[in-house]
Every structure is written in C-alpha cells, then in structure tokens.
Structure 1
Amino acid sequence: MSWLNVKHAMSLAPWLRVPLMWPEPGLEDVEIAQTPQVWARTFAEAWWEDFATEKPLPGEVDLLTNILVMYADRAPGISPGSDVFLHIPHPRVDPLMVLVDLVEIAAEDREIELRNLTHADASDAIELPMVEKFDSPHLGTGLRALRYYQDEDSNEVHAGLRYAWRYEKGTEAVNVLIVLSHPDPARIIRAFDDLDEFARTIRISPDEEVDTWNLS
C-alpha cells in the first residue's frame, strides 16, 4: 500500500510538521528529533528569527516553546495514524492544527463517501455548509466543505474545514482526508489561501520513498 507524502509542506512556510514519536524514527542521531522540548525550543527560536519582522518581547520565545510542546504531547493521541501539521503564519498567532489521513473506502459511491467525509450534509451545521469541488494536481478532483457548528461544551460557534479525495491507481484505492477546526471562524478564513496551497502538496507515494522522506 502506498503512503501519504506531505514532503513539500515541511519546507512550505508557514507550516510545521509535528513528530508523533520521540526520538523520531530514522532521526535517532539528530538532536532536534530527540524530545518535544528540544524540538519545540528550536522551532520557536527559528520562527521568531524567520517569520517576524520584530524582535520577541521577554518571554515570547518561551511562550511559543510551551505551545509547541503542548501540541507535540497531544499530537499522537488526537487522531492515531494521522499526520499532524501546524499553520503558524506569525509566532504571535495561535497555531492552527491540521490533520491529514488515509481512510479506508467504506462506500462504493465516491460522491456519497466524499460528502460523508467532509461533513457536507452534517446535521449539526448552523447553516448549509459551503461545499465546493477542489482540484489537486496529485489527487484529482475532491471536495472541500466549510461548516459552522455550535460546540456542545461551550455553546460557541466553531468552524470546521475538511478536504477529501478518492485516490485510485491500479489496484490501490483509498480516501485522503484533511481535517481542521477552530473556535474562531475568522482564523480559518484568514488561512484559506495557505490551506488550499497546503492541500495541493499532498500526494500518494510508493512505500520505498518513506525513508528518503523521513531523512529529508
């Protein structure tokens, strides 16, 4: 079975991939890949150096470090099997967590399954979800659905965005899914261009490319 390749997103600012194991497999001799604390501190310093036009105020590097550690600790249990990425356009902006996963085909009808995966017909939506076809250079035409819903715990209005494709090549067939949500709908709206660009980097790659990807 082939695997998800989100290689380009690793170097596509403003994205940061969150490791799911420590030390990272294949990177046991790389210092940054040993612990969440080292990984988070390294990227917090780099984010301030590379993505901010101003110097951090006292404590801001520590704050971003702690935020990244929190995500690194949570990532393995959020959606087992999913790749986890953070959208961080500026070190003072709340990271937007994005999950990317392969999902086994459960429905023969492609359109029905893509609508199910994107929650295009979700009953919890406050208004009709905004559903559009979404073209990927690697995965073909899929669906993108944005919906607003009321959180059960806080009663606040959240936004959820999902992308889904059915990938078929030869004897292989699988669904590809991107999932994200945020309690501030404007946070997702502002990131739309980056999210679409990120979605178009995703592709299916042969298993033999795995080691090359991990070490790049």
Structure 2
Amino acid sequence: MSWLNVKHAMNLSPWIRIPLMWPEPGLEDVAEAQTPESWARYFAEGLWEDFASEKPAAGEVDLLTDILTMYAVRAPAAFPDFEVFLHLPHPREIPLPAYVDLVEIEEGEDRETALRALTHADASYSIEPPIVEAITSPYLGSGLRVLRYYQDEDSNEVHVGLRYAWRYEKGTEAADILIILADPDAGRILRAIDDVDEFARTVRISPDEEADAWQSP
C-alpha cells in the first residue's frame, strides 16, 4: 500500500501545515507541537521574524497567534482526516486553508468521470460555468484544476472554489488525490493561485516502506 506524501509541501513557503493531533505524533518532545496555542505562537513569531523590515505593531503578534489558533482548532473539522495547510504569504493576511487527501476509487469508475466529479467540474450549483483546466504534476502526471463560483448555502455569499484532482495508478494500487480550497474573496484565491499550483505539484504518492522516514530532511 502507498501513502500520501506531503513532506515537501511542509517545507514550502508560504505554507504552514496544521497538525491533525495534539501533541503531534512523533514530536512529543517538541514544544510547538504540543497544543494549538503553542503551535500558533511559534509560527506567529516566526512569520513576523521573516518580515524583519516590517516591525509588527503592538498586539499584532498576539493577534496572529489568536488567528492561527482558531484555524488550528477549526480548519481540520471542515474536511476530517484531510491534511491541512494554510497559505499565508504575509502575517497581516487572512490564512487560506488547503485540504489534501487520497480518495478511494469506486469500482468501475473511469478516471475522467472520477476527476470531474471530485473537482465539481460539472457542478449544477455553480453561478457560472466552472473554469476547467488541465494541470501537470511531475509526480502524478496529468490532472484537473477547476475554479468555480457558487453561492454558500449557509451565508448566501458568493464563494470561490478551487479544486485539483489526479489519479494515481501503479501495479495493483490506485487512488485519486484531491486538493480543496474555498474562500468568499475571489481576489484571495486568484492572488494565491500560482502558489497553490506550486504546492499542488509537490504532493506525491510514496511506497509504504518509506512511511517511517517521511519527515526526515
């Protein structure tokens, strides 16, 4: 069996991975991996250090800590068991979550049908026809990227959805890879799209025997 490898995405700026458990398994002795609050403080301070030419105003480090804590607690619940990454190119921006996971292939479902369904390429609820484009990954080959506008059922706001999907097939193993983003701010998605493309192209499938060492440098 193979597994989803997000090691390289974890080290990709401007992305931050949210642990799915606290303390994070394997990092029980690492202070910032103990709680959402300690994780958020670590990254809030680190992000502002990365922007050394811009000194944070009073309270801005605490504000970013609170924002990251909120995302660490709430974001994983949107798509349980998905890996969660935050796109945060500047400490004054609002994080944009990206969700990544493997999806089991339904018996008899062909690749094109599955990828279009996963990306909502033919969604009837879209406000206008989705923008469906091919995207190539050096590890997963050809996939789909779909950008669509839709009305959120709870808020009635117009949201922008961005999804990527690939099919992985090797020997007797097969799975679909899905990446999901959504935001009410179209500009936020469009400004991030180049970074999201780069992020998506780092995701890969690795043999199960490498799993024990997947967090190694």
The TM-score bracket by the shorter chain reads: over 0.9
1:148–1:52 CA distance, 2 compared to 1 (3 A): farther
Q: Is the 8 A contact 1:85 1:98 kept in 2?
A: yes
Counterparts of 2:37 and 2:216, CA distance in 1? 20
Q: Are 1:80 and 2:76 matched, yes or no?
A: no
Q: Does 1:120 align with 2:133?
A: no
Residue correspondence of structure 1 range 9-158 to structure 2 within 5 A: 9-51=9-51, 53-106=53-106, 107-158=108-159
**Cα distance between partner residues in 1 of 2:44 and 2:18:** 13
Q: How does the TM-score come out when normalised to structure 1? A: 0.96
* Larger CA deviation: 5-14 vs 195-204: 5-14
1:210 positional shift: 2.4
Instruction: Output one character per residue of 1:93-125: Cα deviation in whole Å (capped at 9) or x when no partner.
Output: 110000001000025211011000000000110
Gaps of 5+ in 2: none
Which one-letter code corresponds to 1:22 in the other structure? W
**CA, structure 1 residues 123+27, in 2 after alignment: closer, same or farther (shift >3 Å)?**
same
Change over 3 Å in CA distance of 1:52–1:168 after alignment to 2: farther
1:76 & 1:36 partners in 2: Cα distance?
12
Deviation of the 1:152 alpha carbon: 1.9
Change in 2 beyond 3 A, CA 1:52/1:179: farther
User: What is the DSSP-based 3-state SS (H/G/I as helix, E as strand, rest coil) of the residue aligned with 2:127?
Assistant: coil
CA apart distance, 1:39: 0.8
Q: Secondary structure at the match of 2:215?
A: helix
Q: CA deviation at 1:151?
A: 1.4
| One-letter amino acid matched to 1:15 | W
Moved more, 1-10 or 110-119: 1-10
Q: What is the identity, as a one-letter code, of the residue corresponding to 1:140?
A: G
8 Å contact from structure 1 (residues 162, 180) kept in 2: yes
Please give the secondary structure, in 1, of the residue aligned with 2:213: helix
Q: Is this contact kept in 1: 2:143–2:165, CA < 8 A?
A: yes
Tell me how far apart the structure 1 counterparts of residues 165 and 159 of structure 2 sit (CA, whole Å).
20
Q: Which residue of 2 aligns with 1:204?
A: 205
After superposition, the Cα gap between the structure-2 partners of 1:202 and 1:142, relative to the gap in structure 1 and judged at 3 Å, is same
8 Å contact 2:17–2:85 — kept in the other structure? yes
Instruction: Please tell me whether the aligned partners of residues 52 and 91 of structure 1 are also in contact (alpha carbons under 8 angstroms).
Output: no
Cα separation, 1, equivalents of 2:89 and 2:25: 28
CA RMSD of aligned residues (A): 1.2
Q: Secondary structure at the match of 1:71?
A: helix
| CA distance 1:52–1:182, change in 2 (3 Å) | farther
For 2:58 and 2:216, the matched residues in 1 are separated by 34
